[in-house]
Structure 1
C-alpha cells in the first residue's frame, strides 16, 4: 500500500497531519530543483506556515533533468513524510505543501506557464552550485552547451535562465508584477549572484526585459542549514515500517533547521517568521559562518574520510586521525576569517556542528558531499585561505583537506562526480604530483582567481601531494 490521498486513513497515528486543508490551497511558489533538501527545508517551513494560518502558498516543483521526483510525488498528489531523527528519537510529519512536480524536459511550456501564472509570487531554487552555470570567474559560462543554446533561442529552454526569462517575459506582457527569485543554494551572496547572472543573461537576450527585471524583481540572499542525506532503500523500508505504508517521496533529516533571509521581496511572501525563519537586513555574516565552518568541515570530512575508507560523516568525524583537523579548520582557520562584529559565537557554533556531524541516526554519505567539488571548494576553502594568507596566517588543516581533494580528483581510486572531472584528470596527467598544486592554485592556475597561493603555501601543498 502506497501513500496517497486515498490511503491517509491508514497512516500510522503518530504521523502528524497537516493542520490545514492542503487540497484547497493554490500554488504561490515555483521551486526549481525539488530534491530532498528543498522538501526538508523550504517545503517544511511553508507547510508549517500554512498550518499557522497562511493560505495559497503551495509549491509547484520543477525538475530540470530527471523525472525521479515526479515519479515519487505525483502519484501521491505531492504528499510525503518528513522524519527528523536524532539518536533514538524520531518525529514524522506528513507534508502537504507540495502540489505537482513538472519535469522540465518533458513539458517545458508547463514550467514557463507556472512561472508566469498570476498566483505565483516567488520562484525559489535549490539547483546546486553547478546549476548556476558559472565560469571560473563567477560570470555566466557561455561556453556551456545548454546555456549557449538558450542564449541563441534554440528550442525549449534548458537552464534556469531560459525558463525564468520566458516566464518573466510573459508576466511583463500580461501586465503582471515581478517576482522574488529566492536562491537557497550554498553560494556566497547567493541573491546578488543570481541577480547578476540573470541580468547578464537578459542583457544578452532581451535588454528591455532586463530593465523590467531590475525594476520589478528582487533576489534576496539567504542562508539555509539542514543536513539531509540521500535516501537509501533501507531508509525507505524503515519509513514504510514506521508509517504503515510505502512512501516513495519520504525524507529523513536531522532535527536542527535554520533559515536566514534578507528581507527584500518584490511582493507577498509567506509569514515564515512565524515558524522560526529569521529575516535580516544582511545575511552575509550567517552565510560566511555556515559556508566556511559547516560546509568547509563537511567537505574536509568527505575527502579525508573517503581516503581512510569511511562511508559516512559520523564515521569520519569519529576517526582520531581526522577529528583534530576538522576542529582546527572550524575553530581556528575558518573562524579567523569571520567578522568579530557579527556577534557569532564560533566556539559554540563549532560544538553544535560536531554534535550534528556525530549523529549516527543519519547515514550521510561522504560521496554525496564529495560531488561537484570544483563548484564548492572556492567558497568553502579557497576564500578563507585567501583571507588568512593576506593576514599572514597559514592553514595547515585546510591544506590537508585540499590535498585530499586533489588526490580524489585524480580519478584512479574511485570515479569522480564533478563537471570538471575530465579536465582535472588531464591536469594530473600533464603535471603530476610535482606540478599539480601550481597548475591549480599558482600564477595563472585554474583557481587562482579565488586563491593565488603564496610560494610557501604551494610548497606545503606540493609536499602533501608528493
Structure 2
C-alpha cells in the first residue's frame, strides 16, 4: 500500500527511493522561485537537492511563489506533503525515483506576501519560470510591450502590481529604501537570451514607474542568461498511479521527466550563488551559442514534429517519432536548414546533439503528447522557428523546409475547426490564426501578416514565395507525400 509523502514517512519509503541526504531543518532560504511548475521541480529543484546532499549550499534553499490562481492548488498539495516532491526519471528499463527536499516553503498566493519575502536580504536570487509568453515582448519590434494592459495597470498602481515584473520592482524598491543589496534575477524560461529579455522587461516597467529607480536597477541588478533543458510532461493520473504502484508513494503532484537535464549559465551573481558546478551545471562566459542550439534544434524540433504528427493522427510524441514520415522530415529539416545557420561551438557537434534530441523524443516512457506540443504556437514559433528563418534569409540560404513548417502549423490551425479532427487550437491568438488559416490557399499572405507572430519577417518576399509554395504543395500532395518527398530529396 502506498504511503502518503511527508517528512514523517521518508524513513519508511522503499530502499529504491532516494531521499534527502541532509538535515532539512538545517536549510535556510536563499532563493525565491516564481512559477513552481513541473519543469522547475524536475530541474532547478533537483540540482539543488543534489548539491545539498553533498553537504554544500544549505543556505540556498528554495521558497516557492506564484501569482496565478492555479498556483494556489499546487501550493496546497505541496503544503500537505511538507513541500516534498517525488521526481521519477523515465529511463527505459530503469525507472528511478528521488524525493527532493530543496524547497522549504511556499509564499501565500498574495502579492504582498511575495514582495515581503523577496525584500528579505537573505534572499539573494529570485528565479522564475513564467512561460515564454510571459515577458511582454512586442513581436513587431522585439522590444518591451509597454502598452500591454497589465503593464499599464502596474504603472498606474505600482504598490499593487499585477505582473511578475511589478512584483520584482516592488521588492527591489524596498531593498533599495532599506539600504540592502538587491537580489539577482534569474530567468529559467526557454527564451533566447532570457536574461536580457528579463532585464528589458524589468527596466522598461521600472523606468515608466520611476526613472531614478530604473537607473538604480540598471546599475545594481544582475540578469544572467541561462539555458535550461529537461523534457517534463504534465502530471496526470497516469503519473500519480505509476508513483504509487512502482514506488509505494502517494504524492499529489509527482513529476516524471526524462533522464537528462542540462543547465548552462553566465556566472554573474553579485550576491553569491550556490556551487552548482559541483552537480553538473556549466558556467560559461557566453550562453547564447548553447541556448541557440537548444532552442533551434530541440524546441524548434518539437514544433516541427508536432503539427505534421497531429495531421497524421498521432497522439504521443514517441509514436510520432516511430513514424518514418515524421522522423525523417524532422531530421532532414534540421540538417538541411537549421544546422547550417548555427554558430559553431568548440567541442560540440550539432549532428550529435540532433541525434540526442531524436533519441530523447523517441523515449516511450515520457508519454509526452502531441497536443501539448501544439499549444501556444503563436508564442513559440517567433522564439524557436522564425529566428532561424531570419538568419537563413540574411545569409542567402534556403528556407523551403522552414516555410513548410509554417505551412504545416497553418494547416493544423485550419483543421481544428473540424470537430472530428481531435485537436483544439489552444492559443491566445486562436481566432486570428483560424481566420487566416481557413483562407490560406487563396490568400497565403494573410497568415504571414499576423504581426504579433511574424513582425516584419511576414513581409519578406522570399519567405512569402516559399510559404505560398509550401501551402500549394500541401494542398496538392497531402501531408504524407509532402513529408516523404521533402526527406527523400535531402536524405537520399
| Fold conserved between structures, TM > 0.5 | yes
Q: Which residue of 2 aligns with 1:50?
A: 52
Counterpart pick for 2:154 among 150, 158, 181: 150
DSSP-derived class of the 2:249 partner: coil
Q: Which residue of 1 aligns with 2:274?
A: 270
Give the CA deviation at 1:17. Answer: 1.2
Counterpart pick for 1:215 among 204, 210, 219: 219
Q: Which residue of 2 aligns with 1:456?
A: 465
2:73 is the counterpart of 1:73:
no
Q: Which residue of 1 aligns with 2:485?
A: none
Give the CA deviation at 1:37. Answer: 0.3
Q: Number of matched residues?
A: 462
Q: Which residue of 1 aligns with 2:338?
A: 334
Give the CA deviation at 1:464. Answer: 4.3
Distance in 1, Cα, partners of 2:453 & 2:331? 28
390 and 460 in structure 1: CA distance in 2 versus 1, 3 angstrom threshold? farther
2:377 is the counterpart of 1:373:
yes
2:298 is the counterpart of 1:294:
yes
Q: Which residue of 1 aligns with 2:129?
A: 126
DSSP-derived class of the 1:99 partner: strand
Instruction: Give yes or no for contact 1:381–1:398 (8 Å, CA) kept in 2.
Output: yes
Distance in 2, Cα, partners of 1:283 & 1:135? 23
Give the CA deviation at 1:341. Answer: 5.3
Distance in 1, Cα, partners of 2:62 & 2:450? 46
Q: Report 1:4-19 matches (<5 A).
A: 4-19=6-21
Q: Report 1:156-305 matches (<5 A).
A: 156-305=160-309
Counterpart pick for 2:29 among 23, 27, 30: 27
Q: Which residue of 1 aligns with 2:38?
A: 36
Cα deviation, 1:141-190, whole Å, max 9, x if unaligned, reads 34433222112117732211111011111111111101111111111111
266 and 433 in structure 1: CA distance in 2 versus 1, 3 angstrom threshold? farther
407 and 148 in structure 1: CA distance in 2 versus 1, 3 angstrom threshold? farther
Distance in 2, Cα, partners of 1:80 & 1:217? 31
DSSP-derived class of the 1:248 partner: coil
Counterpart pick for 1:325 among 315, 322, 329: 329
2:445 is the counterpart of 1:441:
no
Distance in 2, Cα, partners of 1:257 & 1:178? 29
DSSP-derived class of the 1:448 partner: helix
Instruction: Give yes or no for contact 2:62–2:102 (8 Å, CA) kept in 1.
Output: yes
Give the CA deviation at 1:446. Answer: 5.0
Instruction: Give yes or no for contact 1:184–1:224 (8 Å, CA) kept in 2.
Output: yes
- Alpha-carbon RMSD: 1.9
Give the CA deviation at 1:323. Answer: 1.1
Q: Which residue of 2 aligns with 1:421?
A: 430
DSSP-derived class of the 2:207 partner: helix
Distance in 1, Cα, partners of 2:400 & 2:108? 45
Instruction: Give yes or no for contact 1:326–1:397 (8 Å, CA) kept in 2.
Output: no
Runs of 4+ in 1 over 4 A off after TM superposition: 442-446
Q: Which residue of 1 aligns with 2:98?
A: 93
Runs of 5+ in structure 1 lacking a partner?
A: none
Distance in 1, Cα, partners of 2:451 & 2:59? 51
Distance in 1, Cα, partners of 2:337 & 2:34? 34
Instruction: Give yes or no for contact 1:335–1:346 (8 Å, CA) kept in 2.
Output: yes
291 and 91 in structure 1: CA distance in 2 versus 1, 3 angstrom threshold? same
323 and 187 in structure 1: CA distance in 2 versus 1, 3 angstrom threshold? same
Runs of 5+ in structure 2 lacking a partner?
A: 476-492
451 and 286 in structure 1: CA distance in 2 versus 1, 3 angstrom threshold? farther
Distance in 1, Cα, partners of 2:167 & 2:446? 36
Distance in 1, Cα, partners of 2:393 & 2:410? 20
Instruction: Give yes or no for contact 1:188–1:379 (8 Å, CA) kept in 2.
Output: yes
Q: Report 1:400-415 matches (<5 A).
A: 400-410=404-414, 411-413=416-418, 414-415=423-424
